[in-house]
Amino acid sequence: MRFFIRRGIFYIVTAWAAVTLNFFLPRMMPGDPVSSLIIKSGGQISPDAINSLKVLFGLDNGQSLWEQYTSYWNQLFHGDLGLSFAFFPTPVSSVIQQSLPWTVGLVGIATILSVILGTTVGTLIGWRRGTKADAVLPVATFFSAVPYFWFGLIAILLFAVTWDFFPASKGYQPGLIPAWNWEFISSVLWHGILPALTIVVSSISGWILGMRNMMVTVSSEDYVTVAQAKGLKERRVMVSYAARNAVLPQISSFALALGFIVGGTLVMEMVFSYPGIGFVLYQAVTASDYPLMQGCFLVITLAILVANMMADVVYAFLDPRTRQEG
Amino acid sequence: MTTTAPALTNATLQAADPILEIKNLSVDYGFGDDPTHVLQDVSLTLNRGEVLGLAGESGCGKSTLAYGATRLLPPPGVIRGGEVIFTGRDGVKTDILTLNDKDLRTARWRDFAIVFQGAMNSLNPVHRVGTQLIDAIKAHGKTATKQEARDRAAYVLEMVGINADRLKAYPHQLSGGMRQRVMIAMALVLEPELLIMDEPTTALDVVMQRQILEEITDLRDRLGFSVIFITHDVSLLVEVADRIAIMYAGEIVEAADAKDAYLRPRHPYTRGLLNSFPPLRGPRRELQGIPGSPPDMAKLPSGCRFADRCPFVMDRCRTEDPALSRTALKMSEPERLVACHLHDGKASEVPAELAIQAPQK
């Protein structure tokens, strides 16, 4: 129990540091949102409007840094991340709310598929190394070595243009109204297959390779030989003595990967014009939309923290050596 | 008596009640065109209830012999030939090397269990001690219920002097000595007839070594299993083993009663090995060791493999490989075997150090 409390405190401190950095970084950058809005409007803006914008962005000069900091926290707790410029005057929180589910759904499912498939294949070929199954490795490595944007474009060319199997872009059929009906959901699934497949194919080799190498290492451990000598069934030795131990590093990698899901595979969302958070972040950067960037970064940071926290818990559950009891 | 004694294929003379007979076992390392022959035609017999010590320098093939005989050789080890006959309590003989996978799995741990070198790594760090003990019981379906398996695991743990509540412990919560005891308990959980112990005390301190050894001897007396005890520490073997086989470069060079081998070595290598350890009793003497190092198994010299390090080397040793046969004092010690050309001739021609006579009874 003390382990979890200690980890919990660690994560709270880290989250505090991340939020604080997120508060100070934009304030250390030259310029402010209002001046970039002024530039955006080409100077065609009245001093009254400038003043009201300053109030809107909390840049009215009366407040000290400390007051700004505390009110920033206050806003955070109310889910208020300010207003986006690129989608002015939509609040950043609702922009993120709209895009996040797309990314988490698509990239999340693709990543989990990739991890499960890759780890299973890695377990099998690591256990029987030196057989023909090893041929999977160079093929998988080839696909991960191909730059993703190129691979995505080829996939679109082949499966959406040459053979019209899948739609080439967007998250759902344009014109459909998002709703929980079959027409919309099937359209979402249909649009998700190609991007998800390209993510799985291009990322699976890492999981296969990682698991295979750990399996090879663990297979030569004495306790695996002992399990063999005990007369356990081959499957049981492979799963609960070799793979059980070999999977531990995969868990850490998976946690990191989970964090990056929220960041979105930026390239994928650009290639497929997918309405996820990566695409939003890209738009925010091109429009120098500071509040939106700040909001995206905050969500990504927190997601990585949460993913790491989950990994810690799972890891402690799977590896008794990391639990410090007493 | 100038003719040489006929070479015996068996390391010991026909034993009355053998439990394990290793016959002409050959093991290679490497799958390619040029594998290294690590064991060539090694034969060894273990009698029921006996503790057989297997000694020799590191890399001489002791562990390879044990793993080869139980088909646990890690790749790239390959068994090239031979037979390993196991005789059960019921008198049924099986060749371990020709068993199919299923029968081999059934025989493992029930007929022969192994205590591995390095107790530190023999237990899976992520499973509780109890789980790993019960695993072995469940794999053989000996006990029907979970509770019975648990009770059995608790019983063997108590037997080696560990409190049964340690079943819930993870390996990293135990000391090295306790882990080794757990391994011994695990080996005994199905009451095997044969226990192979591969340097079971190597990583332990002397006090713990002593305790473990006493424990093994004690358990052997109670449960009546046979033991192959592998170690490089000959002086330790003298205390636990009934009989000793000395290995050098993949061959057995001497096999004798433990006390005889210790007090009256017949092979120059045995003598060198004994001189490398401080004597347990008697006056202090200089430790000598054996100059040089064992030959490269990939490039074995012709003739006797020990020739380059032997103080008594003759021309013949460079060309002719000596077979394991009776000693020059064959009349007075028919049960002893040695692979050395010095013993081909008359007893009077053997150097005095290698021909110490047993006291008359």
**Residue B108 above 50 pLDDT?**
yes
Nearest residue on chain A to B131, alpha-carbon basis: A240
The number of folded domains in chain B is 2
Residue B42's φ and ψ, nearest 5 degrees, are -90, 130
Nearest to B121 among A223, A232, A240 (CB): A223
Say if residue B74's pLDDT is above 60. Answer: yes
When pLDDT is averaged across residues A33-57 and rounded to a whole number, the result is 73
B209/B96 same-domain check: yes
Last residue of a domain, one of B240, B255, B288: B288
pLDDT of residue A43: 67
Average pLDDT in chain B: 84
Q: CATH number of the domain at B277, please.
A: 3.40.50.300
How many residues can be counted in chain A? 326
Whether A173 has a pLDDT exceeding 80, the answer reads no
Rg of chain B, C-alpha, whole Å: 21
- The contacts of residue B98 (CB under 8 Å, 6+ apart) are none
Helix (H) or strand (E) holding B202: none
Residue B16 pLDDT level (bands cut at 50, 70, 90): low
CB contact (8 A) between residue B113 and residue A228: no
**B176 lies in the same domain as B252:** no
Binding-site residues on chain B for chain A (CB distance < 8 A):
70, 72, 74-75, 101, 104-110, 113-114, 116-118, 121-128, 135-136, 139-140, 170, 172, 183, 186
Q: Which of B191, B206, B228 is the last residue of a domain?
A: B191
Task: For residue B3, name the pLDDT band (cuts at 50, 70, 90).
Answer: very low
Among residues B241, B269, B288, which one ends one of the domains? B288
What is the ipTM metric for this complex? 0.81
Q: What pLDDT, on a 0 to 100 scale, did the predictor assign at position B8?
A: 44
> Tokens 């192959």 appear where?
B228
pLDDT confidence of residue B154: 93
The verdict on residue B310 lying in a domain is no
Residue B325 lies in a domain: no
Model pLDDT for residues A114-143, shown as the tens digit of each residue: 999 999 999 999 988 777 888 888 888 888
- Token couple for A113: 């598929």
How far is B296 from B283, CA to CA, in rounded Å? 36
Domain ranges of chain A: 2-77, 92-322
> Which domain does B87 fall in, by range?
7-11+15-111+192-288
Shared-domain flag, residues B274 and B143: no
Chain B residue with CA closest to A129: the answer is B75
Rounded distance between C-alpha atoms, residue A235 and residue A231, angstroms: 11
Contact B82, A203 (CB under 8 A): no
Q: Is B266 inside a domain boundary?
A: yes
State whether B246 and B207 are in the same domain: yes
Percent of the residues in chain B that have a pLDDT greater than 90, as a whole number: 16
- Chain B residue at shortest CA distance from A316: B126
pLDDT at B159 over 50: yes
Residues B128 and B178 in one domain: yes
Please, which pLDDT band fits residue B308 given cuts at 50, 70 and 90?
confident
Q: What is the CA radius of gyration of chain A?
A: 24
| Shared-domain flag, residues B183 and B73 | no
Check whether B1 has a pLDDT greater than 50.
no
pLDDT for A62 beyond 70:
no
Q: pLDDT digits over A3-14, tens only?
A: 778 888 988 998
Instruction: Say yes or no: B19 and B107 in one domain.
Output: yes
Asked if A231 and B172 come within 8 Å (Cβ–Cβ), the reply is: no
What integer best gives the mean pLDDT of chain A?
A: 83
CA-based nearest residue in chain A for residue B123? A223
B155 with B228, same domain: the answer is: no
With b for 16 or more beta-carbon neighbours within 10 A and e for fewer, the B2-31 pattern comes to eeeeeebebbbeebeebbbbbbebbbbbee
Residue A46 CB neighbour total at 10 angstroms: 8
CB-based contact, A322 to chain B, within 8 Å:
no
C-alpha distances out from residue B350 to B267, B271, B317, B328, B345, Å: 10, 13, 14, 7, 8
What confidence score (pLDDT) does residue B143 get? 58
Compare CB distances from A221 to B106, B121, B186 and report the shortest one's residue.
Answer: B121
How many beta carbons lie within 10 A of that of residue B333, not counting itself? Answer: 19
Closest CA to B192 of B35, B42, B48: B48
B79: in domain: yes
The whole-number pLDDT of residue A55 equals 73
Q: Is the pLDDT of residue B357 over 80?
A: no
Task: Name the fold adopted by A92-322.
Answer: MetI-like fold (1.10.3720)
Q: Do B232 and B107 share a structural domain?
A: yes
Question: Which residue reads 């022959």 in tokens?
Answer: B37
A218's CB contacts (< 8 A; 6+ apart) are: A224, A242, A243, A245, A246
At residue B239, does pLDDT exceed 70? Answer: yes
Q: Indicate the DSSP class of residue B183.
A: H
For every residue of A22-48, DSSP letters joined together read HHHHHHHSSS-HHHHHHHHTTT---HH
pLDDT for B178-205, tens place per residue?
Answer: 888 899 899 988 889 999 998 888 777 8
What value does the mean pLDDT take over residues A170-188? Answer: 78
Instruction: Tell me what percent of the residues of chain A surpass a pLDDT of 70.
Output: 92
Nearest CA among A253, A305, A295, A265 for reference residue A102: A265
> Hey, are the CB atoms on A222 and B116 less than 8 Å from each other?
yes
